[in-house]
Amino acid sequence: MRWLLAVVGLLLAGCDAPVDDATVALRVPPTFDAPPESAFNRLTPEKVNLGERLFFDPLLSRDRTVSCSSCHLPEVAFADPRRLSAGVEGRVGERNSPSLVNVVYETGLFWDGASPSLEAQVFGPLESPDEMDIRLDTLLARLANDPGYRMEFDLVFGEGPTAQNFAQALAAYQRTIVSGGGRYDDWLMGEPDALTDDEQRGLALFEGKAGCIDCHSGPRLTNRSLANNGLALDLAHADSGRARITGDPADFGLFKVPSLRNVTLTAPYMHDGRFGTLAEIIDHYDAGGTGVRNQDPRVQPLRLTPQEKTHLLAFLDTLTDDEIHAGVPY
């Protein structure tokens, strides 16, 4: 966590110097709250464009083979279709990369909630040996020596690349990755024919017998908490989740509750990508987890019938958004 301790104070201390007063207005479904705004990182078009260029550029990795988009693919809702995400030289990490859609609403990023902001989050993948494996000073030198980047940073920030403005640019682009609504939103807006009969039965199970809504609530279908959902762990090589950050045994196995938006696009599932299908997830919760140490008491056997599982799957399909917006223009 040395990257986090080193940069959080820096990022929270300064403000950017945009080239003009224009800002990017995010479009979200009417069922969503207004996206939170950063007091020190306004979304100007120039900054978002610079962040988008950085997001897709493998120059950000040590051997110039891995970009942010390598593990957050736009075609699968900015998630990773591989079970475990891979970095430079094909090194495989311990976790599956989650979707970045609607990340503008998130606090406590990463599966263990370690990062307090998108700006701070930027530095974790950069210095991780299993991801981009590059020193920050090396990266900043690369950017400063690139005439195009040097000109863009000067245009947007009035100075060359620094840790702060680099993080602000990448975070600005990621804040524009938002959902465009879907049939579930139409239902929430009062359209009675937006869901089929089977999908409505699945929604009733989601909110009732299956108890999914206990954690997957609100328009984004997450309560933004951390929980131990009863996944069996290899204790010899266990990813202890939040406890890895806090050292508190009470946090063992706690991981962020992900949004279920676009969930049909973002397989595989769970922090380690162990489940390849939504049916496997439903079976896991139907069984009441595995009884692992520190399992959340809300995870209990559900005794769903095969037909009820089919209805739940039908409802989950309605959570796919019509569009996912990213970048400029809006």
DSSP letter at 203 equals: H
Q: What is the DSSP string of 61-111?
A: STTS---GGGTSBGGGTTB-SSSS-B-GGG-B-SSPPPP-TTGGG--SBST
* pLDDT for position 27: 87
Residue range 214-268, pLDDT digits in tens:
999 999 999 999 999 999 986 555 789 999 999 999 999 999 999 999 999 999 9
Decide which of 10 and 174 is more confident. 174
Predicted confidence band of residue 330 (pLDDT cuts 50, 70, 90): low
Output the pTM of the full model.
Answer: 0.91
* 165-169-172 Cα angle (round to 5): 130
* pLDDT for position 65: 97
DSSP letter at 146 equals: -
pLDDT at position 20 over 70:
no
Predicted confidence band of residue 39 (pLDDT cuts 50, 70, 90): confident
Decide which of 228 and 12 is more confident. 228
Rounded Cα gap, residues 198 and 309, in angstroms: 11
Predicted confidence band of residue 9 (pLDDT cuts 50, 70, 90): very low
* pLDDT for position 46: 96
Give the residue from 79, 322, 68, 311 showing the smallest Cα distance to 202: 311
Can you tell me the mean pLDDT for 160-177? 97
pLDDT at position 11 over 90:
no
Q: Cis (ω within 30 of 0) for the bond into 329?
A: yes
Percent of the chain with pLDDT over 70: 92
